[in-house]
Structure 1
């Protein structure tokens, strides 16, 4: 039986958590021996995947005197990218694990997430795949001029070995045109197992509130635009008939609580915190809103569509690809007035013409595209 190694940092909060779990089940259902390689013990996997986990402690900026010194000298170029001086040691550590697991040249190794991709930049294998989940130019931070160009070169170098996959055309275009990465990049979305998602939503936690509600899911960070959503909700007529539920946790919680109180909607806005899985809360909502300022893919938006919700989304990168057949359901990121109008318009239409998931995100298509690699 051929093996598929799914490699990532941890199973902590985030969309990548769901991707690893669902991809593991996808390959298992196709008859592959799946192994999940984690470089951190944070978070946890579902019971049915517990026996698939292997942990690998990689070298980083804190490991070894020479490695630490080199990282300190070149920190201007490496901060946010990782300690590339540890790449050879990390390759050796991973190859030892491959020997233990009996991995051969016919098996597949799929690395998810930039941090682990950078740490294992020197790894070689005939069926090595590196998946870009985010806009890669963001890893260059606020650097400018020649420093930014060097950082772009270092980012691109992390993908030189193996095959490259981007979860959206926006991620691919950024890597090729902005970062200047070389080599072919295949676009394969994260996809959704619709039947499993619907089944999970039936037993997942729900919200105990009396009024109908609008929902959004994501980390409470600035890029997700939850402040824009709260402001739009406060301006809309929906505030009189609906509540707003935001599922997720993060550093912006305090600021969002203060904003809700300032706008006089704190009794209508519910910050539900991290809920795993959030599908029950999403399924019972009247409308899903994605208000991000940029997205590599937009998995939560796709999941809401699969659960039959009408959706509204900002006109950015990954969202735009998912919603390309429904431009009337999109608004300019950050535009509070436009979002408020679209929320009211969508609620008044009672979900007529609600977007449907494009077939390319079905798991059968996802599996076929990975195996073609």
Structure 2
């Protein structure tokens, strides 16, 4: 039976990648004539402004995720959606508990957005530790398969959390929307990217250990002899002071800039000479797909999970080992001398259009289980 209504459950609509992707998915499903409600366990968030007027918004206003279970159960009991889709581990646990209370477990589909075994290592609080212990035990008992955002995320769940392959499906993130494709044509704001004589390497992401910007900065120091070459890392995070100190220590203050968030990172990436993903782990790196769609040459670490799948095992652009400064420096030099084919990169990025993602998610929600990309 075709799903007529879907409730998408999230903690809130803060500026993270999962929240952004769920908003784009909700909008795309609504465009395909599904009645979509975005249910926030708490409330608010910067991505709220991106939600289509065709998507209903419900904010439960709970103080924290796990304490939201009674409110979520009450909402589901009253609204009776055909299907319930949740995202992020702690939200998945809350949604499963609420659905168990209301007899709706057969309507629930959960999604994992990151490489589970690595993501749980950086969520070290007592409650989160318990949540990451509990989640796989719930997943193994759910009637519907878990949606993973990449084959690597799926394999990790099988190899480290004892899920069975038949309990997982893979569906692409809805990275590219009509708005995204328009935004990349706007002018770049960073002065280095406005100067045709300056060659610029760009990276985008949270200034955190996961993103590996320390490796990128150290690798850039080895290619600083390339004339007029600069590095710009857009983003904010807990490692700002540490990364700024590293830039000073390597005497790169005139060559490396950490300007904070970019209002339109796609425009900045499109104006660059090279985009680099230096992550230690991901789920499926949306920013890499966005960069490819702009046509800028790209370079990525072969981290778990996603870059190898997105870049066709390194056929489309170089993949370097995680935390290998010398290998990244060598690849940076190679990319500046021999850029990758932007036409092939754009074609590959098209796999992550929002309409295709919505179709894949609809197939899972409707019970027509398929594994994307196989």
Q: TM-score, normalised by structure 1?
A: 0.82
**Aligned pairs, number:** 339
Q: Which residue of 1 aligns with 2:145?
A: 163
Matched, 1:315 2:302: yes
Q: How far 1:118 sits from its partner (Å)?
A: 1.8
User: What CA distance in whole angstroms lies between the structure 2 residues aligned with 1:261 and 1:49?
Assistant: 44
Q: Which residue of 1 aligns with 2:161?
A: 179
User: What CA distance in whole angstroms lies between the structure 1 residues aligned with 2:11 and 2:34?
Assistant: 22
**SS of residue matched to 2:189:** coil
**1:217-238 Cα shifts (integer Å, max 9, x gaps):** 1111112110111111111157
Distance 1:155 1:244, change over 3 A: same
**SS of residue matched to 2:96:** coil
Q: How far 1:58 sits from its partner (Å)?
A: 4.4
Distance 1:204 1:98, change over 3 A: farther
Task: Check the 8 A contact 1:204/1:279 in 2, yes or no.
Answer: no
Q: How far 1:216 sits from its partner (Å)?
A: 0.9
Q: How far 1:13 sits from its partner (Å)?
A: 2.4
Matched, 1:116 2:91: yes
* 2:172 aligns with one of 189, 197, 201: 189
| Worse-superposed segment, 310-319 or 36-45 | 36-45
Q: Which residue of 2 aligns with 1:53?
A: 57
Matched, 1:326 2:303: no
User: What CA distance in whole angstroms lies between the structure 2 residues aligned with 1:287 and 1:49?
Assistant: 33
Task: Check the 8 A contact 1:4/1:108 in 2, yes or no.
Answer: yes
Q: Which residue of 2 aligns with 1:68?
A: none
**1:308-365 Cα shifts (integer Å, max 9, x gaps):** 1111000112111111253451111111111111112112124446634255433333
Q: How far 1:27 sits from its partner (Å)?
A: 0.8
Matched, 1:133 2:113: yes
- Alignment RMSD (CA, Å): 2.8
Q: Which residue of 2 aligns with 1:257?
A: 244
User: What CA distance in whole angstroms lies between the structure 2 residues aligned with 1:202 and 1:152?
Assistant: 41
User: What CA distance in whole angstroms lies between the structure 1 residues aligned with 2:88 and 2:4?
Assistant: 23
Q: Which residue of 2 aligns with 1:305?
A: 292
Q: How far 1:166 sits from its partner (Å)?
A: 0.4
Distance 1:3 1:10, change over 3 A: same
Q: TM-score, normalised by structure 2?
A: 0.81
Q: Which residue of 2 aligns with 1:236?
A: 223
Task: Check the 8 A contact 2:292/2:349 in 1, yes or no.
Answer: no
User: What CA distance in whole angstroms lies between the structure 2 residues aligned with 1:15 and 1:169?
Assistant: 18
Q: Unaligned stretches of 5+ in structure 2? A: 124-128, 365-374
Task: Check the 8 A contact 2:174/2:355 in 1, yes or no.
Answer: no
Q: How far 1:8 sits from its partner (Å)?
A: 1.2
Q: Which residue of 2 aligns with 1:23?
A: 25
Distance 1:227 1:216, change over 3 A: same
**1:18-37 Cα shifts (integer Å, max 9, x gaps):** 20221122112111222211
**SS of residue matched to 2:110:** strand
Task: Check the 8 A contact 2:42/2:63 in 1, yes or no.
Answer: no
**SS of residue matched to 2:13:** coil
Q: Which residue of 2 aligns with 1:364?
A: 355
**1:37-64 Cα shifts (integer Å, max 9, x gaps):** 122335222265367321124475xxxx
**1:267-324 Cα shifts (integer Å, max 9, x gaps):** 2211121234421211211111001111111110011001111110001121111112
Task: Check the 8 A contact 1:58/1:119 in 2, yes or no.
Answer: no
**SS of residue matched to 2:173:** coil
Task: Check the 8 A contact 2:96/2:105 in 1, yes or no.
Answer: no
User: What CA distance in whole angstroms lies between the structure 1 residues aligned with 2:13 and 2:187?
Assistant: 19
